[in-house]
């Protein structure tokens, strides 16, 4: 095996989810808070578009590697509608899920030794594609005392002549943090002035709670547009995790280069999935509004239940669908139900073994002492799962 590939860590979130699903398949009564996956079915009109697409022989053939022209145009229109970012269809690349857009963004931008500022806790998938492209992830630690938000001072302190890009995610996976407008603007200005690329992941744009609002950085800071890649996809907004469609929006030369890469790597994204996505992004936002309401209610409930467990403290989720509680006071006890527990990795193991509940330890997000729990699952499982953790930790 090459050193490059041998060094890749498996996706911790998918690993936790796979383990929970395997235990379930073996007949165990496991509740999974691992994967960030809505429990809703994909809306009917999207599924119907896919069924019709299956029957059209045009979709049985290769199509352009960068995406169906009508889908690229529809994504440009949707981007204008939802975030106010004015882009043309030649600025859109359709990818095999948001994850593929992350990979190709860094592959397109980075040369060996380029540093990428990565606010932490970060989604587990960012560092690996940075490293695979020869880049160096530079984590910038944040915690609940700043609402898990990075500051311009932190970014400036970490900047070196090798800094090529920064990652910006709001609403955030794994912390659920949402940056206020003035902070997004300040960070965007700083990046534009410093000549640093911003890779901004907007996949949770429609999922914000209370008074928190989503804002797109290149809309607030238009001078950033020449050095900004916006990543997005249908997985979270339309409950379409399994369809595997995402996209990248950016300057035409970078999009063209990433499309060239894709032409050797995957060719076109499955046409049936692209047709389903066309129906999704061209349709209304009623379904996501309904799901958002359910997530807000569940997030609130999860927050209240977690905070009622001795030794657990959680920030109220502001967006996305994750709670990110601290278990540090639990770890200080050194044991759970008679089993020694010193880290959140060990804690997650004990919770899975004894309470049959899967959570993702914070180590996966460069945040030991915390864990991520998705609240994109049904109400009954949510209540039962947190109840089991409470019962185990209160023993």
Q: Which residues bind ligand PMP (CB under 6 A)?
A: 36, 97-99, 123, 169, 173, 201, 203, 233, 235, 241, 246
Q: Which is nearer to ligand PMP, 98 or 121 (CB)?
A: 98
CB of 109 to ligand PMP, least distance (A): 17
Q: Shortest CA distance to 149 belongs to which of 290, 382, 324?
A: 324
SS3 (DSSP) at 12 = helix
Number of helical H runs and strand E runs in the chain: 15, 14
Q: Shortest CA distance to 35 belongs to which of 283, 279, 359?
A: 359
Q: Which is nearer to ligand PMP, 43 or 341 (CB)?
A: 43
CB of 178 to ligand PMP, least distance (A): 13
CB of 243 to ligand PMP, least distance (A): 9
Q: Nearest 5°: phi and psi at 63?
A: -130, 175
CB of 381 to ligand PMP, least distance (A): 19
- By the 10 Å C-beta count (0-12 exposed, 13-18 middle, 19+ buried), 288 is classed as buried
Q: Which is nearer to ligand PMP, 104 or 271 (CB)?
A: 104
CB of 201 to ligand PMP, least distance (A): 5
The rounded distance, in Å, linking the Cα atoms of 157 and 129 is 24
Q: Which is nearer to ligand PMP, 269 or 386 (CB)?
A: 269
**What angle do helix axes 44-55 and 271-282 make, rounded to 10 degrees?**
140
The rounded distance, in Å, linking the Cα atoms of 205 and 214 is 6
Query: Is there a cis peptide before residue 252, judged by omega within 30 degrees of 0?
Result: no
Q: Which is nearer to ligand PMP, 99 or 356 (CB)?
A: 99
Q: Please, are residues 72 and 95 in contact by the beta-carbon 8 Å criterion? A: no
CB of 238 to ligand PMP, least distance (A): 11
The rounded distance, in Å, linking the Cα atoms of 216 and 170 is 9
Q: Which is nearer to ligand PMP, 85 or 123 (CB)?
A: 123
Q: Which is nearer to ligand PMP, 167 or 341 (CB)?
A: 167
The rounded distance, in Å, linking the Cα atoms of 86 and 148 is 30
The rounded distance, in Å, linking the Cα atoms of 187 and 166 is 10
Beta carbons within 8 Å of 218's beta carbon, 6+ residues apart: 85, 188, 198, 200, 224, 225, 228, 230
Q: Which is nearer to ligand PMP, 102 or 136 (CB)?
A: 102
CB of 97 to ligand PMP, least distance (A): 3
The rounded distance, in Å, linking the Cα atoms of 90 and 320 is 29
Q: Which is nearer to ligand PMP, 59 or 241 (CB)?
A: 241
CB of 242 to ligand PMP, least distance (A): 9
CB of 148 to ligand PMP, least distance (A): 14
Q: Which residues of 331-350 are buried (b: 16+ CB within 10 A; e: fewer)?
A: beeeebeeeebeebbebbeb
């Amino acid at each position: 095996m090459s050193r490059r590939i041998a060094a890749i860590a498996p996706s911790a979130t998918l690993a936790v989810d796979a383990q929970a699903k395997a235990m379930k398949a073996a007949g165990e009564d496991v509740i999974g808070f691992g994967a960030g996956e809505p429990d809703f079915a994909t809306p009917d009109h999207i599924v119907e578009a896919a069924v019709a697409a299956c029957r059209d022989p045009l979709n049985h053939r290769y199509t352009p590697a960068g995406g169906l022209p009508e889908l690229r145009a529809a994504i440009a229109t949707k981007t204008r509608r939802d975030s106010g970012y004015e882009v043309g269809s030649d600025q859109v690349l359709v990818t095999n899920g948001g994850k593929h857009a992350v990979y190709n963004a860094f592959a397109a931008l980075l040369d060996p030794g380029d540093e990428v500022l990565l606010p932490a806790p970060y989604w587990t998938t960012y560092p690996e594609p940075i490293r695979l492209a020869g880049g160096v992830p530079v984590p910038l630690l944040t915690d609940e005392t700043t609402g898990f938000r990075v500051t311009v001072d932190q970014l400036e302190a970490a900047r070196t002549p090798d800094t090529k890009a920064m990652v910006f995610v709001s609403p955030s996976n794994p912390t659920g943090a949402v940056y206020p407008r003035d902070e997004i603007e300040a960070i965007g200005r700083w990046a534009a002035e410093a000549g640093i690329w911003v890779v901004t992941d907007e996949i949770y744009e429609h999922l914000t709670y209370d008074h928190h609002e989503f804002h797109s950085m290149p809309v607030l800071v238009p001078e950033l547009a020449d050095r900004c890649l916006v990543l997005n996809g249908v997985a979270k907004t339309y409950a379409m995790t399994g369809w595997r469609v995402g996209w990248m929006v950016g300057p035409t030369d970078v999009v063209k280069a990433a499309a060239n890469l894709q032409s050797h790597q995957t060719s076109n994204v499955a046409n049936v999935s692209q047709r389903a996505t066309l129906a999704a992004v061209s349709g209304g936002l009623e379904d996501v509004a309904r799901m958002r309401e359910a997530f807000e209610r569940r997030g609130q409930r999860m927050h209240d239940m977690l905070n009622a467990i001795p030794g657990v403290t959680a920030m109220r989720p502001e967006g996305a669908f994750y709670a990110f509680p601290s278990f540090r006071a639990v770890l200080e006890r050194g044991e759970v139900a008679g089993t020694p527990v010193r880290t959140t990795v060990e804690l997650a193991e004990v919770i899975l073994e004894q309470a049959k509940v899967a959570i993702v330890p914070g180590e996966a997000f460069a945040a030991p002492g915390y864990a991520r729990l998705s609240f994109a699952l049904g109400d009954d499982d949510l209540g039962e799962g947190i109840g089991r953790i409470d019962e185990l930790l209160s023993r």
